[in-house]
Structure 1
Amino acid sequence: MRSLAGSLPMGAAGAGLLVGGALFFVGYRDLAAIAWSTGVAAVLAVLSVEIVTSLRRGEFGLDLVAALAMASALAIGETLAAAVVALMYAGGQALEFFAQGRASRDMNALLDRAPRTALRYGGSGLETVAVGEIAVGDRLLVRLGDVLPVDGCISGTALVDEAALTGESVPITRRDGEAAMSGSTNVGGAFDLLATETAARSTYAGIIRLVEEATRAQAPMTRLADRFALGFMLATLVLAGLAWWLSGDPVRAVAVLVVATPCPLILAVPVAIVAGISRAARVGVLVKGGAALETLGRVATLVIDKTGTLTEGSAAVSEIVPAAGFDADEVLRLAASLDQVSQHAVAKAVVAAATARGLRLDLPAEAREQAGEGVDGRVAGRRVRVGGKAYVASALPAGEGGDLRAAVRPGALVVAVAVDDRFAGLILMRDGLRPGVDAMLARLRGQGISRIVLATGDRDDVARAVTASLRLDAVAAGLAPGDKLALVQREKAAGVVMMVGDGVNDAPALVEADLGVAMGARGAAASAEAADVILLRDSLDGLGEAVAIARRSRRIALQSVGAGIGLSALGMVAAAAGFLPPVEGALVQEAIDVAVILNALRALGSGARQGTSTAAP
């Protein structure tokens, strides 16, 4: 079927129709019939090979109806009708390929942008190397207009365009030491990039693999078209047989077959689905194929992780509660000075908070870190201990350090500080909600998602405190990866479930859900591999828009199929009754096909009501 978009059958059908038409008008009707038959034979030869190949793979399609229409028209001498069907069918397939090509161009652009070479600093200066030769630690020169070949750290200041990756249209300034994603484009001055990943393991390579995966997948509605083909063909043959039997005219049977060629179902669905995938790619959402997009358009329940998904994923200092005799800034300054020796995320957040306040940090001495517990050492001659309350309290004299639990807010992460064997105070930290989360959840409800469940490994009080402002239907806390999977299984009993997560612990639930969505192209590799949809931006902003796109694409596909099949059925009845001769029937059917394909291409647009529409059918 796919090769019918090639130039040989299209050219043969067109040439046969034109030559035959010319011969017919100058009076050589027998030669005209031969010319028309020759063009049809070329299309039939290619189509027959495609049908045999499909049947050997166990696939059955409506191409067989087209072959029967052309062959039967030739058999009863309706060579002009056969030539019109051949040309229109080959042309319809070419139009489908054109439509799918247009719909796929946004995704193909990702593949086309992949850099092949890079400039690397070597012993003798700059050298041009293939991106596959870049190793971690190599220093690269990125010039104006270059696409970053690997993930790396910026040296100096860079202005990069990440639109191809995230959909963000405004260039972003990356400063010295900041991470930059491969696939970004340098739109400012030249800068150096220190490679932190090889090309094969970089963000852009991962996205390209996902894109290639997406282009190979087939939508459930497309598979439905294949299953529907046998029933449609049998109905067509029955109607054609009845028309012949009741009228005694085989031309009516041929006309029925001609009008049934081809079914709009196999044209409209793939075009609308691929258009929707392309549209989603523009807003930074990578959908792994038609099956995922079609499922996204039917989601009824959302199960969503908290840490790194609803929240930023990194704690920040929210409050300092000093003990009697201590100043809040001094408690933070001493704790941050000592925490400079630690690579723990909480320690880094304490240092960042002190730096943001402009506090002077001293270099610690005799520092010792106990993994997962805290740090002990000297700062400016004073003994300082920073960490969990139990870790700090274990080094204090009995009874030292009053009970400050009343000062601790629900949901806060607590860092205790002791100075010179005295309890100095608490640093409270929170992992805040991502900006706009409440609006995003409201938008998803507006798209027809009726149930939203939070699934987290955090304590119940922490989860409820952080998400108190959100409208959630249920909060499931203290979950291990297996518990998240079981939760998804329970929710699936009531409808189509979408699971959104970002960590390795979310991967089993992402696989179990009807649709798994992973956060960020640089999130956990296991989650990205398990998910059906990737949010290329480290943000939930695109999720609501992706659901709107999926529902709209699915609705357009169903509209196209309904209208196309309905019009085809009317045409077949008219042909059976003798009102549509074969030639006119072929022209009518191809007009229907063109109309449904053009309608399906509406899925490429944003839609006047997209983002505010209610659930699709």
Structure 2
Amino acid sequence: MQGVVGSLRRYGQPLLAVVALITLVGGGIGHFTPHQDWASGLWSLGTGLVLSALVVEIVLSLMQGRFGLDVIAGLSMGAALVFGEPLAGNIVALMYAGGQQLENFAEGRARREMTALLGRTARTAMRYAREGLEEVPIETLMPGERILIRHGEVVPVDGRLSGDRADIDMSALTGEAMPARFYTGDDIPSGGTSIGAAFDLDVVRAAADSTYAGIVRLVEQAQQSKAPMVRLADRYALWFLALTVVIAGGAWWGSGDPLRALAVLVVATPCPLILAVPVAIISGMSRAASLGVLIKSGGALEALARVRTAVLDKTGTMTSGKAGVVEIRTVDGIEPEEMLRLAASLDQASNHVSAEALVQSARERGMALLSPTNIVETPGSGVEGKIDGRSLVVGGSDFVRGKCSSGNPYDLGHDLPPGTAVVAVGIDGVVAGIILLSDRIREDAHSTVAAFRAAGVTRFVMASGDHVDAVRAAGNLLGVEEALGNLLPAQKVELVIAERLKAPVMMIGDGVNDAPALAAADVGVAMGARGAAASSESADVVLLVDHLARLPAALMVAQRTRRIAMQSVAVGLSLSLLAMVAAAFGYLPPVEGALLQELIDVAVILNALRALRVPVAVRSPRQD
């Protein structure tokens, strides 16, 4: 049923708006020719076509339990045809069809800008067969079969590692910043990305029963459980309809003139609500888009304006999502910066994730790295070599301690911050120090939380699949009210639902593991600039730029837009009521009333367009 209504609006409304305009203009031209009867026929045709489509839509909406102000528009068009005032009816028809088309435009534009659903999903896999490897659809994989996972590929099904080792980026599933390492016999869930050498995987579960498929189902269930947003104007429909009927009936009964009743219905047609509210919402969505924030629908914008609680993912959302150097500890006589430069120079020869983090950090600090020689790498442990004539060893604490004649990296490893990885460094046979790697809080995270609080968000909850200690440490730095770790996707959904019982909730996340919670929240916000396509698809709002400060700015845009929309409702209803009273006493004939209604439309729409110019100050992360 919803699909039928959606199709009518998507394809029928543009045609109806064009027909209403053509018949109105054509009738106007015909009115000044010898064939004036053509004018009445054209106006009646335009009114009748729009009215027929409106009746069908009203019936379908009522079958869904929805009731709106469209009924008043239908009454006025029908009365205009019955009482011989087709021009007034055609004017109302044009304003109604045009308003519906504006709503369609807002939804369609946002939808077209989104990426395809679940862009990370693997489609095929390399399966071992008698003749060798063959590429097959993942739906055909059965438990017990063996597949090859190559570097950069997404693990398509749950399986068990049959090779020696596998390095998997699990951040999209668990929120872990550091890649996970698996060894022979370990179970590997689907959805992670191989960042190391190719490995063999024995299929344990079919694709439909695997971890990633379960997350997709959670997204779908959460989306289906969320009630559709009722249009802002429809909240006033019942009492406004009743008042309109009472005034129109009273005018007819008191004067005996049915045209007074028609005039009341014409000026009561809520064109300011049908048009001005969508215009305000579209303007607000456009303003947010100019900030790099895509709000998918008017309902999402309205819900965003009411948010009072924010549930925040940690890794990749409030943190950088990549390991970086957070501290350098050295023994006496060793300069920290020099040790980092030497270690990064040697690590240029390694493709280990920790080596990449050291090299990146050194380059960010403007260090000139040297070329290593005599390189010997022990996979999974560390690397040895020479830098500018000096012998270096970089890797795990046990590996470095075993390669050095004196010193112990563990002597420097006291009071390590939660979620920290240690890289030990030995120079010329002596332990020189350790380098601490961790996922760092984003530069703009603190100011973003402060800006959200200034905009009216009163409660923050950090929810992550990362280790509890790491989540609490990040939460303390940001000053959130609650920090929870080791959460599975289903547990995030439960948390969001519990928070929704207290206040409207916004969930901000970036990974596939966040997608179900994004769909369950009143407003799901995805980090589209760095997140997975699944999270962007299930979210109501997508941050298109890697700049957190744009989100509180978009929240303020939504709040201002909603205030402007409410002003349009109040002004439109007030002016319509005054016009209804004038029409009831015979001061406004139907056609003149329709023209007055046009003036009211213009005034209210101009007010709605102010949402395009919502002033918002956005700070750069460098200012924090």
1:301-359 deviation per Cα after TM superposition (whole angstroms, max 9, x unaligned): 11112222222222322432223676646643554355334333321121234454324
5+ unaligned residues in a row in structure 2: which ranges?
1-11, 115-225, 620-624
> Counterparts of 2:320 and 2:261 in 1: how far apart (Å)?
66
The answer on whether the counterparts of 2:55 and 2:74 sit within 8 Å (CA) in structure 1 is no
Alignment of 1:448-597 (within 5 A): 448-466=456-474, 468-597=476-605
**Secondary structure of 1:428's partner?**
strand
**Secondary structure of 1:44's partner?**
helix
Given the alignment of the two structures, is residue 368 of structure 1 paired with residue 378 of structure 2, yes or no? yes
Task: Using the TM superposition, give the Cα deviation of residue 476 of structure 1 relative to its aligned residue in structure 2, in angstroms.
Answer: 2.5
Structure 1 448/68 Cα, relative in aligned 2: closer, same or farther at 3 Å?
same
Q: Which residue of 1 aligns with 2:357?
A: 349
Greater Cα shift, 433-442 or 268-277: 433-442
Q: Which residue of 2 aligns with 1:220?
A: 229
**Secondary structure of 1:313's partner?**
strand
**Secondary structure of 2:264's partner?**
helix
Task: Using the TM superposition, give the Cα deviation of residue 46 of structure 1 relative to its aligned residue in structure 2, in angstroms.
Answer: 1.6
> Counterparts of 2:421 and 2:20 in 1: how far apart (Å)?
70
> Counterparts of 1:448 and 1:287 in 2: how far apart (Å)?
19
The answer on whether the counterparts of 2:285 and 2:295 sit within 8 Å (CA) in structure 1 is yes
Letter paired with 2:606 = L
Given the alignment of the two structures, is residue 12 of structure 1 paired with residue 23 of structure 2, yes or no? yes
Q: How many residues align?
A: 490
One of 20, 40, 44 as aligned partner of 1:41: 44
**Secondary structure of 2:321's partner?**
coil
1:79-125 deviation per Cα after TM superposition (whole angstroms, max 9, x unaligned): 4xx41342354257548858987x899979979xxxxxxxxxxxxxx
TM-align CA RMSD: 3.9
One of 54, 72, 77 as aligned partner of 1:51: 54
The answer on whether the counterparts of 2:17 and 2:97 sit within 8 Å (CA) in structure 1 is no
> Counterparts of 2:253 and 2:282 in 1: how far apart (Å)?
43
Q: Which residue of 2 aligns with 1:83?
A: 87
Structure 1 552/558 Cα, relative in aligned 2: closer, same or farther at 3 Å?
same
The answer on whether the counterparts of 1:521 and 1:536 sit within 8 Å (CA) in structure 2 is yes
Alignment of 1:419-458 (within 5 A): 423-458=431-466
One of 595, 608, 613 as aligned partner of 1:605: 613
Greater Cα shift, 378-387 or 345-354: 378-387
Q: Which residue of 2 aligns with 1:251?
A: 259
Letter paired with 1:50 = A
Task: Using the TM superposition, give the Cα deviation of residue 404 of structure 1 relative to its aligned residue in structure 2, in angstroms.
Answer: 1.8
Task: Using the TM superposition, give the Cα deviation of residue 416 of structure 1 relative to its aligned residue in structure 2, in angstroms.
Answer: 2.3
Letter paired with 1:16 = G
Letter paired with 2:368 = G
Structure 1 436/266 Cα, relative in aligned 2: closer, same or farther at 3 Å?
same
The answer on whether the counterparts of 2:294 and 2:544 sit within 8 Å (CA) in structure 1 is yes
Letter paired with 2:90 = A
Q: Which residue of 2 aligns with 1:121?
A: none
Q: Which residue of 1 aligns with 2:179?
A: none
1:371-412 deviation per Cα after TM superposition (whole angstroms, max 9, x unaligned): xxx324454798865444466568889995552234746665
Task: Using the TM superposition, give the Cα deviation of residue 286 of structure 1 relative to its aligned residue in structure 2, in angstroms.
Answer: 1.3
Greater Cα shift, 319-328 or 507-516: 319-328
> Counterparts of 2:481 and 2:70 in 1: how far apart (Å)?
48
**Secondary structure of 2:322's partner?**
coil
1:584-616 deviation per Cα after TM superposition (whole angstroms, max 9, x unaligned): 322222222222222222212224x7789xxxx
**Secondary structure of 1:264's partner?**
helix
Letter paired with 1:86 = N
The answer on whether the counterparts of 2:397 and 2:410 sit within 8 Å (CA) in structure 1 is no
Given the alignment of the two structures, is residue 65 of structure 1 paired with residue 65 of structure 2, yes or no? no
Alignment of 1:271-420 (within 5 A): 271-323=279-331, 328=336, 331-332=339-340, 335-354=343-362, 356-363=366-373, 365-370=375-380, 374-379=381-386, 386-389=394-397, 400-401=408-409, 403-406=411-414, 408=416, 412-418=420-426
Greater Cα shift, 317-326 or 529-538: 317-326
The answer on whether the counterparts of 1:5 and 1:97 sit within 8 Å (CA) in structure 2 is no
Task: Using the TM superposition, give the Cα deviation of residue 362 of structure 1 relative to its aligned residue in structure 2, in angstroms.
Answer: 1.1
1:403-437 deviation per Cα after TM superposition (whole angstroms, max 9, x unaligned): 22347466654222356875442112343332333
5+ unaligned residues in a row in structure 1: which ranges?
24-30, 112-216, 613-617
**Secondary structure of 1:39's partner?**
helix
Letter paired with 2:91 = L
Q: Which residue of 2 aligns with 1:115?
A: none
Percentage identity across aligned positions? 45
Task: Using the TM superposition, give the Cα deviation of residue 531 of structure 1 relative to its aligned residue in structure 2, in angstroms.
Answer: 1.8
1:279-310 deviation per Cα after TM superposition (whole angstroms, max 9, x unaligned): 11111111122222121111111111222222
Task: Using the TM superposition, give the Cα deviation of residue 232 of structure 1 relative to its aligned residue in structure 2, in angstroms.
Answer: 4.1
> Counterparts of 1:325 and 1:73 in 2: how far apart (Å)?
94
> Counterparts of 1:344 and 1:542 in 2: how far apart (Å)?
34
> Counterparts of 1:510 and 1:70 in 2: how far apart (Å)?
42
**Secondary structure of 1:321's partner?**
strand
> Counterparts of 1:230 and 1:327 in 2: how far apart (Å)?
76
The answer on whether the counterparts of 1:413 and 1:429 sit within 8 Å (CA) in structure 2 is yes
Structure 1 9/510 Cα, relative in aligned 2: closer, same or farther at 3 Å?
closer
Task: Using the TM superposition, give the Cα deviation of residue 546 of structure 1 relative to its aligned residue in structure 2, in angstroms.
Answer: 0.9
Structure 1 465/89 Cα, relative in aligned 2: closer, same or farther at 3 Å?
same
> Counterparts of 1:278 and 1:517 in 2: how far apart (Å)?
17
Task: Using the TM superposition, give the Cα deviation of residue 267 of structure 1 relative to its aligned residue in structure 2, in angstroms.
Answer: 1.7
